[in-house]
Structure 1
Amino acid sequence: MSPIHHALVLNLHQPPGNFDLLFANNDWEAKEILYAYDRIARSLWGYEDVGRVHLSVSGSLLEVLSDPGFQQRVYGIVDCGTLLWHWQNRNIIDILGTGYYHPVLPLIPAEDREEHLVRWRGIARHLFWREHFDGFWPPEMGFSMELIPLLAAQGYRYVIVDSEHVEPIDAISWQELRYRPHIARHGGAEIIVIVRDRELSDAQEAGMEYSWFEHEVKHRTHWCNFEPLVTTCTDGENGGWFRNVTKGSNFWTCFYRELMDNARDEGPIRPTFIHDYLDRHGAHGEVRVKQGAWNTGWHHGRDFLQWTGSQTQKDALARVREVSSAFHAVRDHAISAELHDPALWHALAEAQWRLLRAETSCNFYWGEDWVPRSHVDLDAARAALDQIAVGKPPASA
């Protein structure tokens, strides 16, 4: 029997200010999250030969974990500096690129997307001591084909998408569509598509025994005439399965350690890094990816309903587009007019980071509860733009 390659992907994200809110209102939840982060690398120690985990860490989370004030505040709980250093271990952890403030990229203005990617790469290069990141994790797995040229230009080799949205160009089997990497093309650019198995990922999120997982994976890949790549992706700090601190009762000590032990004993499932699998087996066939996100428990991910379901959410996203348009008009005018006033550029910088933070997916995820957070940042961005006395750009600009 051919080995079954398993790529484990964990998404880690905290919206700006969330730890302050949690420590003020529910400090045990904040501690559980920090323990979940700290548990990742520690659970792989001693398994460097078989342990393989991909981490996507949002820029806003990296920002708080690397902040000296926050590190001092939580030092008796978790040593964040050491935690980040442990995540640098390339033998057991591969870091995926993502967007700085964790926006649903297809929902924000196209003009803002690159800055989210550039800012994330800036902080990630500094903290993880590397220049290149092979794979890209779209926040909330929100993907559309128009992102391909941007991701390719940023140097990403592959992107992870949800199985619900992948369609083959030519007829292929269900197993090949789901368990083989493919190529997607758009606008003269191409990227490798790695397909997340939605059902197995749901099980990973909810909690499962290794014996069930092995049986299910073997059943799903039985008719593969190639070495399959099974990719499971979930959040890595949400839910009791990942937060439980009791040994033998969480993802790492109840499930993944047994998976690694079996892999070491030549079991059928072998943890792998996606880039290693691609180096050995490549990508096959071309696919289209329909616009959509991952499932969120009560929404299927199609049409981004979780983030756009109410008029209040739609109105806030429309205001994001309005403020973004105003920002880019002022900045483009300042560039074309070769304006060098430091106060002007300081105000533009203030407006831009506020705009980008307003686009955080969490602002729109919780129905209408967090939408006001987006408006607070949009108000600040608008106020910064109003300070700029550069005149309005011409109508043709």
Structure 2
Amino acid sequence: MTQQIYHALGLHMHQPPGNLQLLIEENPFEAEQIMRCYERAVRYANLLQDAAALQVGFSGILLEQFLDPEIIEKYAPFINIPDMLDRYGKANNIELIGMGYYHPIFPLIPQRDWQEHLVRGKEIVEKAFGRSPTGFWPPEMAFCMEMIPALVEVGYSYVVVDGVHIKPESGILDIYKPYKATYEGKTIAIIPRERDISNAQESGTDPVWFDREVCQKIAHSPAPDAPRLVTTWSDGENGGWFRQMHEQSGFFGHFFTPFIEMIRNNSTSLRSLKLSDYLQEHPPEEEAFVQTGAWNVGNTSGFDLSQWAGSEAQKQAVETICRVSDRYWKIVDSGNNLSATGQQFLIEAREWILEGETSCFLFWGDDWVPKLYDRTRPAEALLDRVESELLALTH
């Protein structure tokens, strides 16, 4: 083995608002399956800590549910959530990744709403785990260049994007190295996700195939002898592969553990690592442009955002959330002199708007779009009352 290949394995974790409560009430077995996925990741990271590393991202709204005393009590029969969070916080071989608080599709929501999702998303990671994320995972990998200044301002040093969207200055795409991207004078490191192998990670694979596939792809990469970074990323709690209750048949038993054993006994040239460690040793040198896009989900390629804004109903829903957000910001910009009650109404409206930007309400097509309106309607009712008060103040 003449070359060492670095593998950064990422898992994305998210549940929409109120979903853990709904699951435990309506489908306790599925609720247990999902919660055990969250615990399993940190348990195996601890068991294999001498050779294994993971990147794990939790949405803010999922962490909010983890911190809810009622959720903690209802899931206690099979998982001790506070203990689980404590173990994540102490696991030096887990890189905790930041996300938007309510898991929004950033390119589809108003830019003025970005900062609150970013700041609150980072703050709740710090609250839940006692440490701050330096890397960012865009919900649904939906990224655009305009996000860079906002990410840098909040303190992120790198962002993971689907490799197919990267356009290097050289014109030669090499998804096995980091790039840097600059927008309005702000620069951030770009980590390309390896789409093909990530698909296998999501649906099911074995360590021997994985090792051979990675090595074959590296051999045909633009710079096979240079340091190679293979970044694979998938959901960590969706699909039978991750939810398999017989652990030896699922992701961690059938793939992850034997793969780490291969690393331990030097039967693979791959090494597991955290992205921040790789970037410290191999900072990006080449500039690249990242076209707006997401990862491949459902029947979409990710080259557009049609999974979330392809149907007429989805488009109208996006327009509605943008319109309601605009109403909120016009009130804020007016330099209002609201009463304490009016200020409280504005705060409550703001929360409904941000929650309404949850990607799930768009992702699941027309069936879930009404859930977005369940948030915009109370927001608009509150804004009506605030605007009535402002109108009265002018007379």
- Give the TM-score normalised by structure 2: 0.95
Which one is further off, 350-359 or 17-26?
17-26
CA distance in 2, matches of 1:16, 1:255: 31
Q: Partner of 1:137 in structure 2? A: 137
CA distance in 2, matches of 1:70, 1:190: 40
Which one is further off, 17-26 or 242-251?
17-26
Q: Partner of 2:162 in structure 1? A: 162
Aligned residue for 2:12, secondary structure, equals strand
User: Alignment RMSD, CA only?
Assistant: 1.4
Q: Partner of 2:9 in structure 1? A: 8
Give deviations 1:356-376, integer Å, cap 9, x for gaps: 000100000011011001001
Match of residue 367, structure 1, among 354, 365, 379: 365
Alignment of 1:294-305 (within 5 A): 294-305=295-306
Match of residue 207, structure 2, among 201, 210, 221: 210
Aligned residue for 2:249, secondary structure, equals coil
Which one is further off, 278-287 or 354-363?
278-287
Give 1:354 deviation, angstroms: 0.4
Q: Which amino acid aligns with 2:272?
A: P
Which one is further off, 318-327 or 381-390?
381-390
Alignment of 1:263-342 (within 5 A): 263-266=263-266, 267-333=268-334, 336-337=335-336, 339=337, 341-342=339-340
Alignment of 1:256-267 (within 5 A): 256-266=256-266, 267=268
CA distance in 1, matches of 2:307, 2:331: 32
Give 1:219 deviation, angstroms: 0.6
Q: Partner of 1:194 in structure 2? A: 191
Q: Partner of 1:182 in structure 2? A: 179
CA distance in 2, matches of 1:19, 1:321: 28
Q: Which amino acid aligns with 2:261?
A: D
Q: Partner of 1:220 in structure 2? A: 217
Give 1:340 deviation, angstroms: 5.8
CA distance in 2, matches of 1:291, 1:125: 29
Aligned residue for 1:372, secondary structure, equals helix
Match of residue 342, structure 2, among 336, 341, 344: 344
Q: Partner of 1:391 in structure 2? A: 390
Q: Partner of 1:52 in structure 2? A: 53
1:330–1:392 CA contact under 8 A, matched in 2: no
1:43–1:253 CA contact under 8 A, matched in 2: no
CA distance in 2, matches of 1:136, 1:116: 12
Q: Aligned pair count? A: 386
Q: Partner of 1:34 in structure 2? A: 35
1:141–1:161 CA contact under 8 A, matched in 2: yes
2:16–2:62 CA contact under 8 A, matched in 1: yes
Give 1:392 deviation, angstroms: 5.5
Give 1:390 deviation, angstroms: 4.0
Return closer, same or farther for 1:340/1:315 CA change in 2, 3 Å cut-off.
closer
Q: Which amino acid aligns with 2:254?
A: C
Which one is further off, 286-295 or 222-231?
222-231
CA distance in 1, matches of 2:109, 2:295: 17
Which one is further off, 82-91 or 97-106?
82-91
1:88–1:129 CA contact under 8 A, matched in 2: yes
Which one is further off, 207-216 or 18-27?
18-27
Give deviations 1:38-84, integer Å, cap 9, x for gaps: 11111122321211111110011001111111101111021111111
CA distance in 2, matches of 1:247, 1:391: 59
What residue ranges of structure 2 are gaps of 5+ in the alignment? none
What residue ranges of structure 1 are gaps of 5+ in the alignment? none
Q: Which amino acid aligns with 1:117?
A: L
1:161–1:196 CA contact under 8 A, matched in 2: yes
Give deviations 1:314-368, integer Å, cap 9, x for gaps: 00110111100000111222xx24x263212211110011000001000000110
CA distance in 1, matches of 2:345, 2:247: 51
Aligned residue for 1:88, secondary structure, equals helix
Q: Partner of 1:126 in structure 2? A: 127
Give deviations 1:139-175, integer Å, cap 9, x for gaps: 0000011101111111111000001211111133x4x
Q: Partner of 1:229 in structure 2? A: 229
- Give the TM-score normalised by structure 1: 0.94
Alignment of 1:96-115 (within 5 A): 96-115=97-116
Q: Which amino acid aligns with 1:228?
A: R
Q: Which amino acid aligns with 1:212?
A: W
Give 1:295 deviation, angstroms: 0.5
Aligned residue for 2:212, secondary structure, equals helix
CA distance in 1, matches of 2:263, 2:228: 15
Give deviations 1:181-239, integer Å, cap 9, x for gaps: 00111111111000000000000011001000000001111251211000000000000
Q: Which amino acid aligns with 1:23?
A: I
**Structure 1 segments (4+ residues) deviating >4 Å:** none
1:259–1:269 CA contact under 8 A, matched in 2: no
CA distance in 2, matches of 1:214, 1:116: 37
Q: Which amino acid aligns with 1:232?
A: T
CA distance in 2, matches of 1:46, 1:27: 28
